[in-house]
Amino acid sequence: MRPHAPSARRVRPGDWRLLARLWPLARPYRGALGAGVGLMGLGALGRMAGPYLVKLAIDGPVARADAKGLAGLAALYLLVQAGVGAVEAGQTVLLRTRGERILRDLRERLFAKALRLPMARLDRTPAGTVVSRVSSDVAVLSDLFSAGLVGVLGDIVLVLGILAVLFRLHAGLALTVLAVFPVLLVASEWIRRGMREAYRSAREATARLTAAIHEHLRGAEVVRLFGARAWSLGQVEERGEENLRAQVRSVTLQALFFPLVELFSALTLALVLWRGAGFAAGGGLTFGALVAFFEYVQRLFRPLRDVGERVNVLQASLAAAERITGFLDEPSEAPGGRARPPIRGEVVFDGVTFGYGDGDEVLRGFDLGVRPGESVALVGPTGSGKTTAVHLLLGFYPPGSGEIRIDGVPRPRLDPEWFARHVALVPQDPVLLRDTVFENIRLGREWVGPDRVEAAARAVGLHEMIEGLPAGYETPLGEEGAGLSSGQRQLVAFARALAGDPRILILDEATSEVDQATEAQIEEALAVLLRGRTSLVVAHRLSTVRRVDRIAVLRRGRIAEQGSHRELLERGGWYRTLYELNLLRG
């Protein structure tokens, strides 16, 4: 139970090209984004106008005791600030809303990519990793449009604008301000490097702590059974201490950074006051200009106070962009064929060999022929290749050698969407979505109308139960069909398969976990499903096996024997061994 978190790779300067790769997603919104950047510049100009208006007021109406002129400048100041507020609101709306649309498009692109990944790739990748790419990493990029890139652009415009105004007011005093900057930048960079490393360590420590808590809570039954509560608590406390040390270092460096900026800000303001007073006394600088200069310098240091947060957001965004682009670069599944022949349901496995990755072969010269409308059960011990065979038929993996043919046509030549309309799978654990009962049966197949959904539900004995729900077929289901029994969830999967009227039906341990209350109903529904369809049934349940036309017994990736239940028992072969060892349940 020792969690391991991967080290976060430090983002290199060249990795900015990763964001450039996401530019095609922003291209449709470039007009609005350009307008938002333009408003950002206009807002920066408006913010810079305030101190200059104060200078004009001090050097003009205040010096002349001109109340009317002062009132006019005060009104102009108020109007400018109101305009700045309106411009910044418009900028925020434009940039944030377009940013969210870009992220929506990116999520859709990532999810579409996930649906096109080869099954072999998905088998090697935890579902949480794929979800993280589609959800968490995109959420990190969301910060890029608020505190990250947008904030940096605004700060750059503001700093350059203020420096230009400072040189316009008094070049000598502006050089005094710039003289402090190299020292500040060197000190800030030293602390920021430590902050970046501290942030990275803190994130890794938090990830390890979260993983430890999750892992030990998930194994709570085992922990209690073995009397290991103290050990479990110690493991979590150890991760907690690591997290505490990392967080304390991060907070300490952050606490040092902001006083450092404030110290240099105070030093710069003191120099401005000292040298500015001398220039003013010599007539080289008006009192109003000195006040404005003082205010501009204060505003100049504000972006530096936020730089730690900006850098952290940009670093996280670049790391997320790297993971996202890497995911998008994953090879997609091979394109299917274009053949759309009439599907009668003949299935032939001809010398099929297959193994997962670099492991041993699961199927070795597997041969099996199924006639249209015939039902065949695949039985055998765990690891004999039953589920692998049906997965190859469904196209989840390509065979290593040999060929699978549907009505004489090699499986890869068939149009995947065409084949999908004529085949149905009922797995051991049916996937039910957070949607209505109707949509869970239809499952996005627009050609399956309400009449077919209801007819399928009636055929498997589910209609009365659905009608008893609060909103009937429109009743929303909870996560994984919460609120339904295991048998009812299985009946929904049966109705889903039947609604498409498939020519080929695959049942993969579909009756293995049936509760007592619905066992008879499941058996009746199974009879309806098998009737008149080519069916491959992976099962250990004896009542299911007995219903099929033929039983194929697999052993070590090959067909060991075939026949009916009675024939195989009388033959006294491997099937009878399975039966006597109770590997075929009643």
CATH of the domain at 345: 3.40.50.300
Quote the pLDDT of residue 2: 37
Quote the pLDDT of residue 307: 64
Closest CA to 385 of 357, 356, 420, 348: 356
Establish if 107 belongs to a structural domain. yes
d(CA 249, CA 14): 28
* Cβ burial 202-215 (10 Å sphere, 16+ → b, else e): bbbbbbbbebbeee
- Please give the radius of gyration of the chain, using alpha carbons only, rounded to the nearest integer: 35
Closest CA to 366 of 395, 393, 394: 393
Name the amino acid, one letter, at 380. G
How many C-beta atoms surround the C-beta of residue 501 within 10 A? 15
Establish if 154 belongs to a structural domain. yes
Task: Please name the residue that has the structure tokens 């460096």.
Answer: 253
Residue 71 sits in a domain whose CATH number is 1.20.1560.10
565: phi then psi, degrees, rounded to nearest 5: -60, -50
Contacts of residue 59, defined as CB under 8 A and 6 or more positions apart, other chains included, come to: 286, 287, 288, 289
Between 287-305 and 171-218, two packed helices, what is the crossing angle to 10 degrees? 20
Name the amino acid, one letter, at 501. D
d(CA 272, CA 103): 45
d(CA 226, CA 222): 6
Dihedral sign for Cα 539, 540, 543, 545, please: positive
Q: Which of 169, 203, 220 is the last residue of a domain?
A: 169
Name the amino acid, one letter, at 181. F
How many C-beta atoms surround the C-beta of residue 584 within 10 A? 21
Establish if 486 belongs to a structural domain. no
Establish if 28 belongs to a structural domain. yes
Both structure tokens of 151: 């904030």
Q: Which of 169, 198, 221 is the last residue of a domain?
A: 169
d(CA 124, CA 120): 7
DSSP 147: T
Closest CA to 113 of 336, 318, 324, 416: 324
* DSSP-derived secondary structure for 422-468: TEEEE-SS----SSBHHHHHHTT-TTS-HHHHHHHHHHTT-HHHHHT
Torsion, Cα of 12, 14, 19, 23 (10° steps): 180
Establish if 389 belongs to a structural domain. yes
Contacts for 276-279: CB closer than 8 Å, 24+ residues apart: 276/170, 276/173, 279/170, 279/172, 279/173
d(CA 204, CA 456): 51
114: phi then psi, degrees, rounded to nearest 5: -60, -35
Torsion, Cα of 279, 285, 289, 291 (10° steps): 30
* Cβ burial 93-124 (10 Å sphere, 16+ → b, else e): ebbeebbeebbebbbebbeebbeebbeeebee
Greatest distance between any 2 Cα atoms in the chain = 120
Establish if 301 belongs to a structural domain. no
Quote the pLDDT of residue 7: 38
Quote the pLDDT of residue 4: 38
Q: Which of 169, 195, 217 is the last residue of a domain?
A: 169
Checking phi first, is residue 310 left (phi over 0); if not, alpha (psi -120 to 50) or beta? alpha
**Confidence (pTM):** 0.69
Closest CA to 579 of 527, 549, 541: 541
561: phi then psi, degrees, rounded to nearest 5: -165, 160
Total domains present in the chain? 2
d(CA 18, CA 141): 12
CA distances from 74 to 57, 69, 87 (A): 8, 9, 20
| 538 class by beta-carbon count within 10 Å (0-12 exposed, 13-18 middle, 19+ buried) | buried
Domain, as residue range, for 568: 336-422+540-586
d(CA 132, CA 129): 5
Contacts of residue 380, defined as CB under 8 A and 6 or more positions apart, other chains included, come to: 386, 553, 554, 555, 560, 578
Residues of the chain with pLDDT under 50: 1-11, 13-14
Are 578 and 380 a contacting pair, CB within 8 Å? yes
Establish if 563 belongs to a structural domain. yes
Report the length, in residues, of the chain: 586
Establish if 514 belongs to a structural domain. no
Q: For residue 188, how many C-alpha atoms fall within 13 Å in the half-sphere facing its CB?
A: 23
CA 453 to chain CA mean position, Å: 32
